[in-house]
Amino acid sequence: MTEPASANLSGLLRIMAQLRDPNGGCPWDLQQNFASIAAYTIEEAYEVADAIDRGDMHDLRDELGDLLLQVVFHARMAEEAGEFAFDDVAAAICDKMRRRHPHVFDEQGRAYAESGRTPPPNAGNAEKQLLDWEQRKQAERHARGGDTSALAGIARGLPEWQRAIKLQKRAARVGFDWPNVDPVFEKLHEELDEVREELAKGVGHDALEAEIGDVLFVCANLARHAQVDVGAALRRANAKFERRFRRMEELAAASAGALESLNLAQQDALWDQAKAEEKSGSGQAGNDPRIAQ
């Protein structure tokens, strides 16, 4: 048995306080601020996602700990600045979760199930609850007198592909969306033609960047209409490329030497061989159930 979560969490908070102690703390930790730590927070979140994608529960446990450390780090710096402490962070999310789940908790924050009471009717399915969640978020922004746009609250720090999807989904909620996937394909062909026009004028210029951005935005829209997660699809493509490229290196080393000593036609032949091995199940990755193409 491990120690109670409260004891371990108290220990982590104490460790962070010691690391940030000007008298005997860690010089690196003492130098950090919110901006310098932000990149590490994002990196740790991606490492959590990677462990999930690989199905590695041992790594997931460790990566979740690293991500928790980031929360503790930010909260400690805020406490030192007199803004808020870790308990305030925890209290805020507890309050938010109860407030935004009125089908689970009453107005006093008590769970209906724990008291044996019947929750309100028409709780609906998960899709309805997601819509209700967004409506409550918007109502809270209105109550605070903040941005009332349908696009309000979409963080600018998100990866741009993820922000594109969120912008498109928000616009779709007020009816600004294509009715099906066919117009998306038409738009994609239109944007690709515009890229070709700008590319004919040279590379690296501002207009070309804008047009390629339009292509990527439409590709995100295509994935949304196809109900495919853009991040998962791109991770899959990256993994496939890496897997096949590494196999190319192995094949080159076993026959002709280093991959860089081969011309493009020879490298393409190795790529085709690596691809064929995957499809036939004869390559090193052939027994990987995640290989779909």
Residues 6+ apart with CB under 8 A from 274: 243, 244, 245, 247, 248, 251, 283
The rounded percent of the chain whose pLDDT value lies above 70 is 91
pLDDT of residue 293: 41
Number of neighbouring beta carbons within 10 Å of residue 131? 12
State the Cα–Cα distance between residues 227 and 172, nearest whole angstrom.
14
pLDDT of residue 115: 79
Q: Do 112 and 104 form a contact (C-beta atoms < 8 A)?
A: yes
pLDDT of residue 283: 54
- Say how many residues make up the chain: 293
| Token pair belonging to 148 | 């009332």
Q: Which amino acid is at 238?
A: N
Helix (H, G, I), strand (E, B) or coil at 278: helix
Which residue blocks in 100-159 are alpha helix, DSSP H?
A: 112-115, 126-143
pLDDT above 50: residue 1: no
Mean pLDDT (whole number) for 231-244? 92
Find residue 111's DSSP bridge partners. Answer: 105
| Token pair belonging to 154 | 């979409």
pLDDT of residue 3: 57
- Rg of the chain taking only CA atoms, in angstroms: 25
pLDDT of residue 156: 86
pLDDT of residue 34: 97
pLDDT above 90: residue 292: no
Q: Which of 158, 139, 160 is nearest to 148 (CA)?
A: 139
Number of neighbouring beta carbons within 10 Å of residue 250? 15
Residues 6+ apart with CB under 8 A from 13: 72, 76, 86
Q: Which amino acid is at 176?
A: F
pLDDT above 80: residue 121: no
Find residue 105's DSSP bridge partners. Answer: 111
Summarised one tens digit per residue, pLDDT across range 48-95 is 988 998 899 999 999 999 999 999 999 999 999 999 999 999 999 999
